[in-house]
Amino acid sequence: MTHGSQTVRATKAVKVAELVSVFLLASAVIFVGWRIVGANLLGRQAVVWVANVLMLFTIWIGLRVRAQTWEHLGLTLRWRGGGAFLRTLGQSVAVLALALAAFVSGSVLMRSVATSTTRADMSAYNYLEGNLPMLLLALAAVYVVSSFGEEVLYRGFLITRLAELSDAGKAAMSGAVIASAVVFGLAHFDWGIVGVVQTIFMGFVLGVSYVATKRNLWALVLAHAYLDTLLLLQMYLGAAGGSAE
């Protein structure tokens, strides 16, 4: 490891270890946390939020060790002017439309293979039905942990770090997008097999959008926030199924 202002030159093994540690930490927290809270739906959701925050903290440590900033992952923290802001808003709406189409496509696929259900299992959100204070609290938490956190994690961090493991250029980036979509889908295992497939489809579109927007992560964060809002509103209104997280 170098010192001062020099960047740490991580070996491939170290890069793999970083990737593994981020997700192993989350898995351990969820495994232990869910055993503690049992079947309490709100408690289980809170455990997932804690796991996501810890993953973001681990990613931040990795950036610090490499003397990198969040901009390395596509998260620009500087104001770039009104034109850039409006462009990001436009991109976010386009990403929303594509992500919804991908999510629906997952439903169509599952229907074509004649599964027992063609809807994601959203029972984990039952505590929101008709509960306005809880809806507002959940929205505030989800915007930070899911809308922001998941885009930083699954698009910014995972795609960037996976692509950096190879010198294959576009091929490496394509593989990273596909891998991140699969991991994103599997992370939603509590939505059932239909939900996993739907979120893999959606994750792929979000990954492609990340690359297409030249890694403008804010456009994806906003699109994810729109999706989360649609999902939680449906749960609040008592919808049996829902949009994607």
- pLDDT bucket at 240, cuts 50 / 70 / 90: very low
What pLDDT was estimated at residue 5? Answer: 41
Q: List pLDDT tens digits, range 30-86.
A: 999 999 999 888 898 899 999 999 999 999 999 998 899 999 999 998 888 999 999
HSE-CB of 184 using CA atoms within 13 angstroms:
32
Helices 132-142 and 41-65: crossing angle in degrees, nearest 10, is: 20
What pLDDT was estimated at residue 116? Answer: 61
Residues in the chain: 245
**Averaged pLDDT, 15-37:** 92
Residues 184 and 170: their CA atoms lie apart, in Å, by: 21
What pLDDT was estimated at residue 10? Answer: 52
Which of 126-130, 187-191, 199-203 is most confident? 199-203
- pLDDT bucket at 224, cuts 50 / 70 / 90: very high
Pair 45, 37: CB distance under 8 Å: no
DSSP character string of 205-221: HHHHHHHHTTS-HHHHH
How many other C-beta atoms lie within 10 A of the C-beta of residue 167?
Answer: 8
Across 39-53, 110-124, 134-148, least confident range: 110-124
- pLDDT bucket at 3, cuts 50 / 70 / 90: very low
Helix (H, G, I), strand (E, B) or coil at 62: helix
Pair 201, 182: CB distance under 8 Å: no
Task: Tell whether the model's pLDDT for residue 241 goes beyond 60.
Answer: no
**Averaged pLDDT, 78-105:** 94
The tokens describing 10, both together, are 């991580």
Q: Domain limits of the chain?
A: 12-81+89-236
Question: Residue with structure tokens 């926030």?
Answer: 225
